[in-house]
A = this chain, B = another copy of it.
Amino acid sequence: MAEESANPERISEAEQAVMEALWARSPLTANEVADAVAPARGWTLATVKTLLSRLVAKQAVQTAPDGKRFLYSPRVARVDFATGESKRLVDRLFGGSAAGLFAHLADAEALTDKDLTQIEALLKELRK
């Protein structure tokens, strides 16, 4: 089997902001990532570069040389990241029960009518 992504090192919150830019569009240069991300977070270019380096070190991002600079692209899919984080939450807080999470959100009135309608529709779909 092809080189399985060995260790999914954790992506921090600031790092995630960088990933979001790359998930939205890639490959990007460091400058393009900064343009996409820095203003909203009040970051300098240097900060974005540091985060990119760390993400490369964590093997969450890969680089391809393009002349004198690099083009960055995600190495982990957003879907996988989301799954990992979601499962972590469900495990840590609800003993692994996704239904527990759902019940909790309902209890906390964190579900909008729209949420309920959409979930209902999804359930129907799943049951088909």
Contact = CB atoms under 8 A, between A and B. Distances in A.
A16 to B, nearest CB: 7
A41 B87 CA distance: 20
Interface in A81-101: 81-83, 85-87, 89-90, 92-94, 97-99, 101
Interface string A85-128: 11101101110011101111111101110111011101100110
Interface in A60-91: 79, 81-83, 85-87, 89-90
Given A93-B82, A93-B86, A119 B104 contact: no
A119 B103 CA distance: 7
B110 A119 contact: no
Nearest to A17: B92
Nearest to A109: B83
A83 B108 contact: yes
